[in-house]
């Protein structure tokens, strides 16, 4: 009897430990951002969670799937564009699992598979684009990449939300050629602006000449203004032709008093000297 009790005293703790281990393996807890995909004897039962649930130890197998957005860098790819320019392009892709069951059943490793699809699609799409299109229409290319990759990952229960081309590495020769092109374009714009300015200035001068030509008084005032401006420069001697119209009235008056002879007036204007 004592021997039996001693054996029972050994077995009971062992059973308690086994029961505890079985209970521990049967209880599963997954986080809010996770789901547990359950297989029972190889058959898909479905996704459970979040929170606490039980499985049958030895019969059920659980695989955790993270439902958060995954950010993945696409390694730099060497691409030959449609206009035969060799470039290196890398990108970043944002995706998440929408259907945990399909992400487990339909593909072995959905993260690696999405990465490979992104790399091949990046080379394919950029190879169909010109370099200028790649540099100027980045948003359209990003949308095209996102749509193509998302269509291919949809059967896996994976949703690709954003694809962004990060860096475009150009050959040194192409960088120098683009710098020269940009410089030539800036020089072209500068010359066009300068020519437009010259054209506008010449048009304004022509308008001013027409106004002065229609008014003799305005022309004489312009001569006087020019004399005033030159006098302020303190030049030693300046020879300036004075229009005969300015002194014609004075000569006519002198002739009327017998002190002058209009016929003796030279045909050209007299020379006026302006000194310090």
- Asked whether residue 134 falls in the same domain as residue 226, the answer is no
Taking the whole predicted model, whether its pTM rises above 0.85 is answered as no
- Asked whether residue 24 falls in the same domain as residue 79, the answer is no
* Residue 184 placed within a domain: no
- Asked whether residue 84 falls in the same domain as residue 46, the answer is no
* Residue 201 placed within a domain: no
- Asked whether residue 89 falls in the same domain as residue 129, the answer is yes
Q: What is the pLDDT of residue 271?
A: 46
Structural domain of 53 = 17-66
* Residue 185 placed within a domain: no
Q: What is the pLDDT of residue 136?
A: 85
Q: What is the pLDDT of residue 263?
A: 46
Q: What is the pLDDT of residue 246?
A: 56
First-to-last C-alpha distance (Å) of the chain: 145
Domain boundary, last residue among 124, 158, 174? 174
* Residue 104 placed within a domain: yes
- Asked whether residue 36 falls in the same domain as residue 100, the answer is no
* Residue 187 placed within a domain: no
- Asked whether residue 128 falls in the same domain as residue 217, the answer is no
Task: Give the count of domains, the chain.
Answer: 3
- Asked whether residue 84 falls in the same domain as residue 117, the answer is yes
Q: What is the pLDDT of residue 176?
A: 75
- Asked whether residue 79 falls in the same domain as residue 148, the answer is yes
| CATH assignment at residue 84 | 3.30.479.30
- Asked whether residue 54 falls in the same domain as residue 85, the answer is no
pLDDT digits (tens, 9 = 90+) for 5-64: 566 666 777 778 877 777 888 888 999 999 999 999 989 999 998 999 888 888 999 999
Residues of the chain below pLDDT 70 = 1-10, 174-175, 212, 216, 219-220, 223-224, 227-276
Q: What is the pLDDT of residue 274?
A: 45
Q: What is the pLDDT of residue 262?
A: 46
- Asked whether residue 44 falls in the same domain as residue 97, the answer is no
> Which two three-digit tokens encode residue 84?
């035969």
* Residue 41 placed within a domain: yes
- Asked whether residue 57 falls in the same domain as residue 75, the answer is no
* Residue 57 placed within a domain: yes
Domain boundary, last residue among 152, 174, 196? 174
* Residue 188 placed within a domain: no
- Asked whether residue 50 falls in the same domain as residue 132, the answer is no
């Amino acid at each position: 009897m004592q021997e039996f009790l001693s054996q029972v005293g050994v077995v009971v703790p062992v059973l308690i430990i086994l029961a505890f281990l079985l209970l521990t393996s049967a209880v599963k807890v997954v986080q809010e951002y996770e789901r547990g995909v359950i297989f029972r004897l190889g058959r898909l039962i479905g996704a459970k969670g979040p929170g606490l649930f039980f499985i049958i130890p030895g019969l059920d197998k659980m695989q955790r799937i993270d439902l958060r957005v995954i950010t993945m860098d696409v390694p730099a790819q060497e691409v030959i564009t449609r206009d035969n320019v060799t470039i290196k392009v890398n990108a970043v892709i944002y995706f998440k699992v929408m259907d945990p069951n399909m992400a487990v059943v339909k593909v072995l490793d959905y993260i690696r598979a999405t990465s490979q699809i992104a790399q091949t699609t990046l080379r394919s799409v950029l190879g169909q684009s010109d370099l200028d299109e790649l540099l100027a229409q980045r948003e359209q290319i990003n949308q095209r990449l996102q749509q193509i990759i998302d269509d291919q990952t949809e059967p896996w229960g994976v949703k690709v939300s954003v694809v962004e081309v990060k860096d475009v590495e150009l050959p040194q020769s192409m960088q120098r050629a683009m710098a020269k092109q940009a410089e030539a374009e800036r020089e072209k714009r500068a010359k066009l602006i300068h020519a437009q300015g010259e054209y506008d200035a010449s048009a304004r001068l022509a308008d001013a000449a027409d106004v002065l030509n229609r008014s003799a008084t305005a022309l004489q005032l312009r001569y006087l203004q020019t004399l005033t401006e030159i006098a302020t420069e303190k030049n030693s001697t300046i020879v300036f032709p004075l229009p005969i119209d300015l002194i014609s009235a004075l000569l006519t008056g002198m002739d009327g008093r017998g002190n002058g002879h209009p016929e003796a007036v030279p045909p050209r204007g007299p020379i006026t000297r302006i000194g310090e």
